[in-house]
Chain A
Amino acid sequence: MIGTLLEFTSSHIKDKQGIFGIVEMSGIKIVGSFDSMQLKEGMKVKMSECGVGPDGTAFYRFVKA
């Protein structure tokens, strides 16, 4: 699925470190993580992985489309 990156930043919270952003895909907005900081608002991204982590919370990962 291809979406648009609306905004991104980075988290420093323990066990939640890393780059994260809000992505709009087919009218649905989802917050997920990115491996690269080479990002720009408005760029096209695709979901590379999603699931439920060991703590029971959902996760979404995105990469450049």
Chain B
Amino acid sequence: MRRVAISSWATSKFVKDSKLSLFELACEPCVEILKDGNVSRKDIDAVMFSSCTTEQYSSTIVSEMLGMRPKVSHRIDNLCNSGTNAVASAFSLIASGLCDSALVVGAEKTDSSGNKLLWDITRGSFMFPVHWAAIFAKAHMRKYGTTEEQMAMVSVKNHRNASKNPKALFDKPVSLKEVMDSKKIADPVKLLDCSAPCDGASAVLLVSEEKAKKLTDSPVWIKGIGQQTNSASFANATADLTTIESAKLAARDAFKMAQVMPSQVDVAELHDAFTILEILAYEDLGFAKKGEGGKFVGQKEIAINPRGGIIGCGHPVGTTGVAQVAEIASQLAGAAEKRQVKNCKTGLVHNLAAAGSSATVIIMGA
């Protein structure tokens, strides 16, 4: 299998009401990559478009709008997990030798009709994602004594990090009191425990080792990928309501492939669509012991969600996983400006879909 690097990346400003169409939005970070990335349109062998749009032929439309004629062009949709699924597919194309380069583009508008999972009737009339998040949070509190304050601290940290990220939807820190006093949505989840849907786009360019040498002096390597799909429904996602089983299995495979231990990770982007998910991720990824995720909030060993995570940046569903990968690439290349984590060598991306029914974990290295 050939080595695969990320040679360049770009992310648009995440906003609530972009005046751009979905396809215009998708082109924005790609044009930035083409301007700054030392790569020409004819060098792109594949375009993978990650979005929950129901627009047909969308990847091919984005390719044409960018003036590209790639060998391979697909749209990938797997709800919130779409972005890293697209990265995994691009990785496979290059590792196998089918392509030398693949541009992964994530773009989403708040009103993308494919953002909602209507198929899962096991949720009855409680179909909002916050309902399953509340169930996870309640179960973790009951079994392990995790507190509402510990969950709120995740939001405080991620909003603080987002305030250093010019691309984030939210640019102001929030206090613990503000999170605790925010509107109750589904006990114990409050408004500021939740991420917000928004418009945004992100792109990363994956290349073969040979091509990476020509394009950049500081490639970021994809060292391990793990993916697991357990179900489409909340009901069948996990047997234990205090664990995202798909993430645990994806992490096991990613760490094995990368030959890295959780203790070696310096920086991570975790899927914090709700604060409880970041706490579950600490445990599922092996950063904290089972049941001790709540106490892990505020630790200083690993920089978690330096861009602000999903809570601070906003959640353009099909874009999120790509933006997470772009952030870790930026951190490992030492290009994250005000939010740069010092001396980071190993990074991790954790991306989930619908109640953790599927998960992807990607491990990257400088």
Seen from chain A, the residues whose Cβ lies within 8 Å of a Cβ on chain B are 6-13, 16, 20-22, 28-33, 41, 53, 57-60
Contacts and interface: CB of A to CB of B under 8 A. Distances in A.
A20 B122 contact: no
Interface string B171-200: 000000000000111111000000000000
A9 B124 contact: no
B235 A8 contact: no
Contact of A30 (B127, B131, B139, B235): B235
Secondary structure at the A interface, as helix, strand, loop or mixed, is strand
A29 B236 CA distance: 7
Interface in B103-152: 121-128, 130-132, 134-135, 138-139, 142
Given A9-B186, A31-B235, A60-B124, 4 more contacts: A7-B142, A9-B134, A31-B132, A57-B127
Contacts, number: 78
A22 B241 CA distance: 10
Interface string B275-290: 0000000000000000
Interface size classification for chain B: 20 to 34
A20 B126 CA distance: 8
Contacts of A13: 128, 130, 185-186
Given A13-B130, A28-B235, A7 B123 contact: no
A8 B188 CA distance: 11
A11 B186 contact: yes
A21 B235 CA distance: 12
Contacts of A6: 139, 241
B124 A16 contact: no
A22 B135 CA distance: 8
24 contacts: A6-B139, A7-B135, A9-B138, A11-B126, A11-B134, A11-B186, A11-B187, A13-B128, A16-B126, A16-B128, A20-B124, A20-B126, A22-B235, A22-B241, A28-B122, A29-B236, A30-B122, A30-B124, A31-B123, A31-B132, A31-B135, A33-B126, A57-B127, A58-B121
B296 interface: no
Contacts of A59: 124-125
